[in-house]
Structure 1
Amino acid sequence: MSVEHSAVLEGALAPAMNSRLFGHQEAEAFLAQSYKSGKGHHAILIEGPEGIGKATLAFRFANHILSHPEPAEAPSRLADPDPESIITRQLASAASHNLLHLARPVDEKTGRAKGAITVDEVRRAGKFFGQTSGTGNWRIVIVDPADDLNRNAANAILKMLEEPPPRSLFLVLTHAPGRLLPTVRSRCLPLRLKPLETADLRQALTHLGVDLAGPNAGRVLAAASGSVSEALKLVNYGGLDIAEAFEDILAGQGPGSRKSMHKLADVLSGRDSETIFDFFSSLLAGRIMQLAREAAIAGDVGRAERFARLSSSVGERLALSSAYNLDRKQTILSLLDDLKEAL
């Protein structure tokens, strides 16, 4: 009943196929022990920045439960999934009848993920529970991430959280819990994951076959901020060059800066540029919020408010650009112009 796994980053593994998790031993121990006690919560909100292992943890926990359906008989720790077990193979091939993975569906016309998890996707969870209600097995829904739920979908999930079926578990992932409906958050037990420490990030990248022995290793580890996905974008998608070009544009003036803006916008709006465009969008949003915080700390209220308004505007314009398939290059140039003006 799981959906097909969405495209993963070059060099990454789909969470259901990843046999290792680094840096979250406390969270793993908590989940294993709460399940074994028989008093675990029916909905767990797994919080933390993107790319630090939330989905991998969710699939590991799901594998643990489906492999040990009686809590009292389950081990007190989560083991690495056995690649030879039927349950592991079913989860890895999206063929498990006891797990539903809700994520943004793929648009058949464009081949790209749609902008939101819709209510139609959530309704699949209702059918999933109905079809499996007589088996007596655990039924697990992974919402990945809940940040992508539109309003109607969030309300539909809320109804299920309020009246969960027996032997059901919701693993709700979020990069930004503050954006979720308060009523959804209140129905879940929060489990906060922190960005990976440098040693854990190195181990995770080594597991994926990424060699950080080169001269840019320190820059990658620093810029990744404890996120495996950010590190992969920096290494495999030219993220370091994008970040350097972005900072040069902000510091530059005159025709040379304008030329650099167009060059960057061309790269970000080219074919198959979705990943690097998302990377740039996060980079832009993070830079603006950093400027807002710095202004607030310095006591410059007017400047802080200006960057806060720009931050809100950037999010809205990027969403509109995606929803209506607007000219991406012009959107990028406009955003860069506004940021430079605010500076």
Structure 2
Amino acid sequence: MSDERPGILDGAVHPAEQTKLFGHAEAEDFLARSYRSGKGHHAILMEGPEGIGKATLAFRFANHVLHHPDPSDAPESLAAPSLASPITRQLAAGSSHNLLHLTRPVDEKSGKVKSAITVDEVRKAGKFLAQTSGTGNWRIVIIDPADDLNRNAANAILKILEEPPKRALFLVLTHAPGKLLPTIRSRCMPLALAPLSDADLVSALDSLGVAPSGERAGALIEAAHGSVSEALKLVNYGGFDIVEAFRAIVDGPAEPPRRDVHKLADVLSAKDSDTVFSFFCQHAADFVTDSARAAALAGDIARADRLAQLSSQLGERIAIAQGYNLDRKQTIITVLDDIRAAL
């Protein structure tokens, strides 16, 4: 199944429409019990790698809360959303008056998803929370993910979290909690979610109709690192070919053919290549981090330090390139050259 909403990968289902969740039963039970106790926190920070089901869990919990506005009457477990319910259908359609999904907006001129959640989007959250719910129900804001908040937006969210309205619930998602403002983290209750097990990942992919099979099944499970979105990028976006080309360049001869470097850069910087460009950037960053760790374990401190410094520099360079829409081809060539030099 494919969802045509902006920002949704080919083969994926929007979290608001997803009725299945794999691998997070313990977190589901915790949220249900915490809510039923009447002592649940007003802001929950769902931490974990991208693509493991954080947004799906957030929508499932929101569905639970809106179906059971009185915590004392709520069951002790989260049920799978039923599309027979008007509340569920409203959430799936994005038309609920009691939930705001705060994510990167679409640029009206280009039709593309913007690179950050801006302060204008956060102002929408302020207006949403200021409105009195006609049903006296909860008002829920899902920030997906908070990593995408720019500085002004992050400060604006912080002000709301510091003085939250009554019956307001914030579900704050993050792939990298260490990058968030410490003051935002301190206002939230952390809920760490682990990558999916191999069995849960296979089940999740099977539910999407992309269960791994054949020679690449084992390679897919290993390369996806428990992330459904990573697996989809490998299967539906040529991720395996990108990884293979990347490794051929960084592990190749001292002077790799420039045509190979430019060929990969051309593919990753082509029109409508946001997904593969981000995939490459993340893979390159992970490769450098893993290489630094391996060098440290092997006792090669100089190499480990060199790679660790590069890891920090790459993150900054990629963030600047994405934030200011710099020439992607040149960014890719520079990243490859820097990695080869550090190795």
TM class by shorter chain equals over 0.9
Runs of 4+ in 1 over 4 A off after TM superposition: none
Question: Which residue pairs with 1:76 in the alignment?
Answer: 76
Using the TM superposition, give the Cα deviation of residue 341 of structure 1 relative to its aligned residue in structure 2, in angstroms. Answer: 0.8
CA contact (8 A) 1:41 1:189 kept: yes
Structure-2 separation of matches of 1:46 and 1:261: 38
CA contact (8 A) 1:100 1:140 kept: yes
Question: Which residue pairs with 1:211 in the alignment?
Answer: 211
TM-score of the superposed pair, with normalisation by structure 1: 0.96
CA contact (8 A) 2:233 2:279 kept: yes
Question: The residue matched to 2:112 in structure 1 has which SS?
Answer: coil
Question: Which residue pairs with 1:87 in the alignment?
Answer: 87
Structure-1 separation of matches of 2:151 and 2:188: 18
CA contact (8 A) 1:132 1:139 kept: no
Unaligned runs of at least 5 residues, structure 2:
none
Question: Which residue pairs with 2:152 in the alignment?
Answer: 152
- Between stretches 197-206 and 150-159, larger displacement belongs to 150-159
Structure-1 separation of matches of 2:340 and 2:303: 13
Question: The residue matched to 2:131 in structure 1 has which SS?
Answer: helix
Structure-2 separation of matches of 1:254 and 1:228: 36
Structure-2 separation of matches of 1:182 and 1:322: 24
Structure-1 separation of matches of 2:191 and 2:256: 48
Question: Which residue pairs with 2:20 in the alignment?
Answer: 20
Question: The residue matched to 1:199 in structure 2 has which SS?
Answer: helix
Structure-2 separation of matches of 1:325 and 1:126: 29
Structure-1 separation of matches of 2:290 and 2:19: 36
Question: Which residue pairs with 1:40 in the alignment?
Answer: 40
- Between stretches 208-217 and 65-74, larger displacement belongs to 208-217
Structure-2 separation of matches of 1:286 and 1:251: 15
Structure-2 separation of matches of 1:206 and 1:307: 38
Question: The residue matched to 1:45 in structure 2 has which SS?
Answer: strand
- Between stretches 198-207 and 268-277, larger displacement belongs to 268-277
CA distances 1:62-119 after superposition (whole Å, capped 9, x unpaired): 0010011111111111111011111111111110000011111111222222121111
Question: Which residue pairs with 1:230 in the alignment?
Answer: 230
CA distances 1:174-215 after superposition (whole Å, capped 9, x unpaired): 000111111111111110000000000000001111131222
- Counterpart code for 1:157: I
Residue 170 of structure 1 pairs with residue 161 of structure 2 = no
- Between stretches 103-112 and 276-285, larger displacement belongs to 103-112
Question: The residue matched to 2:91 in structure 1 has which SS?
Answer: helix
Using the TM superposition, give the Cα deviation of residue 132 of structure 1 relative to its aligned residue in structure 2, in angstroms. Answer: 2.8
CA contact (8 A) 2:98 2:133 kept: no
Residue 105 of structure 1 pairs with residue 105 of structure 2 = yes
- Counterpart code for 1:165: P
CA contact (8 A) 1:81 1:88 kept: yes
Residue 262 of structure 1 pairs with residue 262 of structure 2 = yes
Question: The residue matched to 1:164 in structure 2 has which SS?
Answer: coil
Structure 1 residues 270 and 5 mapped into 2: Cα distance closer, same or farther (>3 Å)? closer
Unaligned runs of at least 5 residues, structure 1:
none
Structure-2 separation of matches of 1:105 and 1:250: 36
Using the TM superposition, give the Cα deviation of residue 131 of structure 1 relative to its aligned residue in structure 2, in angstroms. Answer: 1.6
Structure-2 separation of matches of 1:272 and 1:118: 22
Structure-1 separation of matches of 2:94 and 2:171: 16
Residue 319 of structure 1 pairs with residue 313 of structure 2 = no
Using the TM superposition, give the Cα deviation of residue 53 of structure 1 relative to its aligned residue in structure 2, in angstroms. Answer: 0.1
Question: The residue matched to 1:75 in structure 2 has which SS?
Answer: coil
Using the TM superposition, give the Cα deviation of residue 256 of structure 1 relative to its aligned residue in structure 2, in angstroms. Answer: 4.8
Structure-1 separation of matches of 2:203 and 2:12: 13
Structure-2 separation of matches of 1:206 and 1:189: 33
Alignment coverage as a number of residue pairs: 340
Question: Which residue pairs with 1:281 in the alignment?
Answer: 281
Question: Which residue pairs with 1:189 in the alignment?
Answer: 189
Using the TM superposition, give the Cα deviation of residue 294 of structure 1 relative to its aligned residue in structure 2, in angstroms. Answer: 1.8
TM-align CA RMSD: 1.5
- Counterpart code for 1:309: Q
Using the TM superposition, give the Cα deviation of residue 216 of structure 1 relative to its aligned residue in structure 2, in angstroms. Answer: 0.8
CA contact (8 A) 1:5 1:94 kept: no
Using the TM superposition, give the Cα deviation of residue 133 of structure 1 relative to its aligned residue in structure 2, in angstroms. Answer: 5.0
CA contact (8 A) 1:245 1:264 kept: yes
Question: The residue matched to 2:107 in structure 1 has which SS?
Answer: coil
- Counterpart code for 1:328: R
Structure-1 separation of matches of 2:320 and 2:33: 44
Using the TM superposition, give the Cα deviation of residue 254 of structure 1 relative to its aligned residue in structure 2, in angstroms. Answer: 5.4
Question: Which residue pairs with 1:292 in the alignment?
Answer: 292
CA contact (8 A) 1:117 1:149 kept: yes
Using the TM superposition, give the Cα deviation of residue 305 of structure 1 relative to its aligned residue in structure 2, in angstroms. Answer: 2.2
CA distances 1:197-249 after superposition (whole Å, capped 9, x unpaired): 00000000011111312221111011000000000001111101111111111
CA contact (8 A) 1:117 1:150 kept: yes
Percent identity between the two aligned chains: 67
Using the TM superposition, give the Cα deviation of residue 301 of structure 1 relative to its aligned residue in structure 2, in angstroms. Answer: 3.0
CA contact (8 A) 1:146 1:174 kept: yes
Question: Which residue pairs with 1:306 in the alignment?
Answer: 306
Structure-2 separation of matches of 1:5 and 1:188: 29
Matches within 5 A, 1:57-72: 57-72=57-72
Question: The residue matched to 2:215 in structure 1 has which SS?
Answer: coil
